[in-house]
Amino acid sequence: MLRTAIRSILTQTYAGSIDICVVFDQVDIDPLDDARIPDSNRSLHTLSNSRTPGLAGGRNTGILATTGELIAFCDDDDEWAPDKIAKQVEAWRRDPDAALVSCGIRIETEDRSVIRLAPEHTGFAQFLESRVTEIHPSSFLMRRDMFTDDFGLIDEVLPASYGEDYDLLLRATRNGHVASVPEPLVIVHWDRASFFSGKWQGIADGLSYLLDKHPEFATSPTGSARIEGQVAFALAALKRRPEARRWARRALHHDRSQLRAYAALAIAARLAPAAPLITAINKHGRGL
């Protein structure tokens, strides 16, 4: 899958140069000699994560190793459509005030393909209320100076790096918006286990950290309830039932329609298991 991801970048129709930086985190480096192509406008190099172990440190290692004006992420189990970068650059020319540019995604589950298109314009208030998961990290196209001159690198203190992409979107849109190409230009593979699948403690810790880090959630009962419901679900899956019930009640205080809170209460009451619920949701191209 890593080689598929790399080839999808090497074969972009974008006429400018693209430098691919593959960061290996806590594993041996694969030189990827078989994935390279002779093209003066395309280069590929590999390196180890030199910062905090985990996703955030890996992303930052790659950001700091690059010199291009623009930066894009591609997770190793995703791939880009051939015209992704070209269409995003053109969209940015039409909307130069955008903080970053995204696009739609096509999710491949075990038994179906699900297309999810991102809104063409998404601001800070919308991200407080909803993660807008159509805006996937493998679709991000960003200016490098956003990290070096504006608000800094990916948060490496974030527990388990869970929600590092959401934190980035919240910080980026405090003074701008996300513009999105309304086409599925990224393929997201959910026909395999997620890195975070079953890592409930990291999910609970990461999301509660984000609630504390961004005090603006206090202005969005719906957004607060969404995250509180996710934390409740994770704690229920960990069988930490009293804590799960407390977080679920907190979520329902903010939003009586928050389904994750009801699911957490059901799991805490031993009426339903967590894993099959997540599997069923994932099959429809949705996540926790």
Domain-terminating residue out of 129, 154, 189: 189
Whether residue 22 contacts residue 32, with contact meaning beta carbons closer than 8 Å, is answered with yes
Q: What is the mean pLDDT of residues 117-125?
A: 96
According to the model, what pLDDT value does residue 110 have? 83
Whether residue 272 contacts residue 263, with contact meaning beta carbons closer than 8 Å, is answered with yes
Q: 160 and 28 in one domain?
A: yes
Is 57 part of a structural domain of the chain?
yes
Kindly report the CATH number assigned to the domain that includes residue 100. 3.90.550.10
Q: 175 and 83 in one domain?
A: yes
Share of the chain above pLDDT 90, in %: 84
Q: 118 and 172 in one domain?
A: yes
Per residue in 94-120, pLDDT (tens digit) is 999 999 999 999 999 888 899 999 999
Is 287 part of a structural domain of the chain?
no
Is 74 part of a structural domain of the chain?
yes
Is 195 part of a structural domain of the chain?
no
Which of these, 81, 79, 59, 61, lies nearest to 2 by C-alpha position?
A: 79
How many domains are contained in the chain? 2
Is 245 part of a structural domain of the chain?
yes
Q: How confident is the model at residue 35 (pLDDT cuts 50, 70, 90)?
A: confident
| Domain coverage including residue 253 | 200-282
pTM: 0.92
Is 211 part of a structural domain of the chain?
yes
Structure tokens at 48: 């180890």
- Average pLDDT of the chain, as a whole number: 93
Domain-terminating residue out of 189, 224, 249: 189
Q: 85 and 223 in one domain?
A: no
According to the model, what pLDDT value does residue 272 have? 87
Q: 232 and 154 in one domain?
A: no
Q: 172 and 97 in one domain?
A: yes
Domain-terminating residue out of 144, 169, 189: 189
Q: 227 and 149 in one domain?
A: no
**193 has a pLDDT exceeding 60:** no
**30 has a pLDDT exceeding 60:** yes
Q: 179 and 207 in one domain?
A: no
Q: 209 and 156 in one domain?
A: no
Asked which of 25-34, 249-258, 276-285 is least confident by mean pLDDT, the reply is 276-285
According to the model, what pLDDT value does residue 38 have? 81
Which of these, 80, 88, 86, 101, lies nearest to 14 by C-alpha position?
A: 86
Q: 126 and 50 in one domain?
A: yes
Is 14 part of a structural domain of the chain?
yes
Q: 182 and 46 in one domain?
A: yes
Q: 237 and 146 in one domain?
A: no
